[in-house]
Amino acid sequence: MSQTVARAIDIIGFVAHQPRPLNDVAEHLGVHKSTALRILQTLEGGGFVRKDAGGHYVMGFQLIAYGQLALDQVEARSLAHPVLQELAERHGHTVHLGELVGDHIVYIDKVDGRGSVAMGSRIGLRAQTHTAGVAKVITAYQAPAIRERILDQATFERFTDTTHTSRESLVADLNQTRARGWAEDDGEHEDYINCVAVPVRDARGKVTHGVSVTALTAVASLAELRNHVDEFRSAAQQISAELGWKGHTP
């Protein structure tokens, strides 16, 4: 709706990947360099971009500060964090906390396990609806109408042999997930990574969050992760309790 602001947002995304000189930014936007300069200067004034040692534009420190602040404002995170941390320490695997926001599942916390590997997930990013354990477990427990809306957002892009590439296949998985009480990711995004995910309930009993435990298949097979599901579930229930849930698993 606002062209200039849209361009400013575009710039931040462009500069996020690597440091860029003015000319590259202008070219990327398809505008004259003076135009790009003026937007960049405004962003720089607000601390959203800055110049690195080489004079190229990179993301600014205010962006970090707002990001941290926004993170602090996600209430569930502060309650859940100690539990996630303990889980990660005890098992040595990477732990994620996901939250349903609108029609997407967003990673709101992540604790790296031992020997942390590069993983696509990042706090604040949306989880892949059709592959991520957290996404699947949260989706599985939603009312039909909401579930449909979430599924509408799935891309069904194929990443590996086991990726669900059709809605029917994913729905079957979700039903199974609900039946057994947890979700599994059997190398659906990266074939050398698997994960299990358990649901977290809020005070009204709704599944608003999910906790996933992710490991390299080389470190822990899916079967090994399954052996500890009860522990993961009790951690999730601990978080549920802190969110005010008084009930028991139906």
- Interacting residues with DNA (CB under 7 A): 2-5, 7, 21-23, 31-35, 37-39, 55-56
Other residues' Cβ atoms within 10 Å of the Cβ of residue 219: 16
Could you tell me the maximum CA-CA distance found in the chain, to the nearest angstrom? 62
172 contact, one of a second copy, DNA, none, CB 5-8 Å limit per kind: none
Residue number, 19 or 181, with CB nearest to DNA: 19
Which has the closest alpha carbon to 208: 242, 231, 179, 232? 242
CB of residue 57 to a second copy, shortest distance in Å: 12
- On whether the CB atoms of residues 137 and 178 are closer than 8 A, the answer is no
Q: How far apart are CA 175 and CA 137, in angstroms?
A: 10
Sign of CA dihedral 103, 234, 95, 172: negative
Question: Cα dist. 7→26, 58, 131, 230 in Å?
Answer: 10, 16, 32, 49
Return the amino acid letter for 47: G
Considering only residues 58, 117, 146, 229, which one is a binding residue for a second copy as defined by CB under 8 A? 58
Which span sits near a second copy by CB under 8 A: 53-61, 141-149, 176-184, 227-235?
53-61
Residue number, 64 or 172, with CB nearest to a second copy: 64
CB of residue 2 to a second copy, shortest distance in Å: 4
153 part of the interface to a second copy, by CB under 8 A: no
Where does this chain bind a second copy (CB under 8 A)?
1-2, 4-6, 8-9, 12-13, 16, 38-39, 41-43, 45-46, 48, 50, 58-71, 73, 101-102, 106, 108, 122-126
